[in-house]
Amino acid sequence: RKRYRPGRQRSPRTGAPMSAAPAMAPTSLAARSSAALVAAGRCGCPSSLPRSLRSAFSSTLPRSHHSGVLFRGISRTLSVRASSAATETLEVCVKASITYPDKLGDCPFSQRVLLTLEEKQLPYDMKLIDLANKPEWFLKLSPEGKVPIIKLEEKWISDSDVIAQSLEVKYPDPSLVTPPEKASVGAKIFPTFIGFLKSKDPSDGTEQSLLSELTSFNDYIKENGPFISGEKISAADLSLAPKLYHLEIALGHYKKWSVPESLVHVRNYMKTIFSMDSFVKTRAFPEDVIAGWRPKVTG
């Protein structure tokens, strides 16, 4: 197993120890896969990716993305374990990339759980699940075949909401609690984004519904930001940010649409969170996001 250990610098957002993104040396298998993808022209940044995200992705595999064990019908051996001396190592199953071998996939709910683990600096052993060919042992743990799932106190827990709450109860320091009156801020952005993305009728009002939700969020952050709970990041931000990331990539690709420049506080919010070390380490590849939403657009 390949391993790395985070450093112990302190986060200006939560006060928690933080680490720089590790430089991970790929095995010969990963190196060969990367070279093959580059040769096939699949490692470049999609031309339709919003300008604000293009510079974050180079023509080779970003070193900032976590690697892990890829589980299909037959498992493979490349793994990286994020760990610290803080506590026991937690097992977590998340979606695997369909584009790059042994890399994170495009599930925003999986990213939310990983962001929570990263922000709390909890050690974890990540298992990447090929959702197109789920191994039998995984289906025994998650009969519906859904990710993410995490093992806490010898029990496997599903649903990102439940997982985030359970981690907060078991590991309260640093706190990521969002005050109840603020917990639903921005919650309608994701469903209205999906409605607009799937829409084939420009006059059906789905774009305006999304703009309305983004405008409300912009006004809220202007008065209460920089984060949903104020000065410190919280669980609500870790839930919303992966969804905004999908929004920016998917709408940029399929509708040539981006968050209006007039919504400056939304744009700054996205820029701030998208540049966090924990986000960079756990984000999906743009190609995976685009491929993941294709059935919604073409179906």
Q: How far is the C-alpha of 126 from the C-alpha of 2, rounded, in Å?
A: 12
CA distance readout (Å), 252 to 193, 200, 248, 271, 279:
12, 16, 6, 16, 20
Give Cα 262 distance to the centre of its chain: 26
Which one, of 292, 282, 261, lies nearest residue 52 by Cα?
261
Q: What's the one-letter identity of residue 158?
A: S
Which residue is catalytic, options 43, 45, 93, 107?
A: 107
Query: Is 43 designated active site?
Result: no
Q: How far is the C-alpha of 276 from the C-alpha of 36, rounded, in Å?
A: 30
Q: How far is the C-alpha of 211 from the C-alpha of 280, rounded, in Å?
A: 26
Active site residues: 107
